[in-house]
Homo-oligomer: A and B are copies of this chain.
Amino acid sequence: MSLLVVGSLALDTVETPQGRADDVIGGAAMYFALAASFFAPVRMVGVVGADFPRSMLDELRRRGIDLQGVEELPGKTFRWTGRYHEDVNVRDTLHLDLGVFGDFRPKLPPSYRDSRFVFLANIDPVLQASVLDQLDAPGLVGCDTMNHWILESRPALEALLDKVGILVINDEEARLLSGERNVVRAAARILEMGPHAVLIKRGEYGVIQFAGDSIFAVPAFPLEEVTDPTGAGDCFAGGFMGELARSGDSSPAGLRRAIVYGSVMGSFVVEAFGPRRLLELTREDIDRRYRQFVSLTDVGGA
């Protein structure tokens, strides 16, 4: 089943303790789509400027990513420059230029309207809601957000959450959204806002899902080196939603498998700068790491 994603497409310049990369393609929707494309056909909604490499758009198309919903405008692509600390959970934004993304209003091509699986990457909740309004009958809706919208657009965000099935956020966002420091209480408060599941990303400690009374925790894959953390959360969401769109199975077991696939994709992307590692990845690599993940936490069959 096709999976629709709306969000940012960007050109990133990133410094980490391991080095530096200039003008690599990035953005939440980009990372999401690349990760998800290993699992299901992806439909993308976004905007790029004249400086966005056309070869990269061709590469996305080759991967089965539908770009009918991506506007190509004169002007500059969204640019982000950031520096990660020795503790890779901490980063500084050195420069930000919204470019054509500043006036982004998602417009869905008619061929996208029947999408059943939808992911609203981190953008203004008013725009996220406008995507849902353009869909005939969205089935499973996943959503991300960030501190800025929680603080500045809470009414719009709360209205949106009522229409969201699965919220995917990090631990800091979960605390801010819920007003609770404890993760169990934070999740309970968020589930009262509408979503039937909340996935809380905890960086190097993995992901924890709360869905009804069920809790599922996956550690992060232990890596000797994190070269560039950019996109880890978006690739997690891409692998997660991609596997759900592929299997059509959102039972508790299906959700758990999808969370592990998401964790696999998040663990790959950080091994190199930008999306480089994703671009060389094979389905076999993914399945091998999936098995490693299962054995990492397996008590019974160890």
The CA of A185 and the CA of B219, in the complex, are separated in Å by 17
Minimal Cβ-Cβ distance residue in B for A223: B184
- Contact partners of A90 in chain B: CB under 8 A: none
User: Smallest CB-CB separation from A183: which chain B residue?
Assistant: B222
Inside 8 A of A294's CB, which chain B residues have their CB?
299-300
**Chain B residue nearest in CB terms to A255:** B302
Which residues of B lie under 8 Å from residue A217 when comparing CB positions? 206, 219, 222, 296-297
Q: Say whether A74 faces chain B, with CB atoms less than 8 Å apart.
A: no
The 0/1 profile, CB within 8 Å of B marked 1, for residues 238-281 of chain A is 00000000000000110011001000000000000000000000
* Pair B202/A297 contact, Cβ less than 8 Å: no
**Shortest beta-carbon distance, A11 to chain B, in Å?**
29
| A87 in the interface (beta carbon within 8 A) | yes
In the complex, what residues of B have CB within 8 A of residue A257's CB? 299
Q: Provide the bound-state CA to CA distance between A206 and B182, in Å.
A: 15
Instruction: Give the docked Cα–Cα distance between A301 and B257 (Å).
Output: 10
Q: Are A208 and B215 in contact (CB under 8 A)?
A: no
| Interface bits A278-301 vs B (CB < 8 Å: 1, else 0) | 000000000000000110111111
List the number of copies, as a whole number: 2
Interface size class, chain A: 35 or more
Question: What B residues does A105 contact at CB under 8 A?
Answer: none
Give Cα distance in the complex from A204 to B185, angstroms: 14
**Which residues from B are CB-within-8-Å of A215?**
222, 296
CB neighbours of A206 from chain B (8 A)? 205, 217, 219
Once A206-B219, A208-B219 are accepted as A-B contacts, the answer to whether A182 and B224 lie under 8 Å apart by CB is: yes
Cα A182 to Cα B299 with chains together (Å)? 25
Given contacts A202-B205, A216-B296, A217-B297, contact A86 B224 (CB under 8 A): no
**Closest Cβ–Cβ distance, residue A92 to chain B (whole Å):** 18
**A216 to B97 alpha-carbon distance, docked (Å):** 43
22 contacts between A and B (CB under 8 A): A87-B181, A182-B224, A182-B225, A182-B226, A184-B223, A184-B224, A185-B224, A185-B225, A205-B219, A206-B217, A208-B219, A215-B222, A215-B296, A216-B296, A217-B296, A256-B298, A256-B299, A257-B299, A294-B300, A297-B297, A297-B299, A300-B301
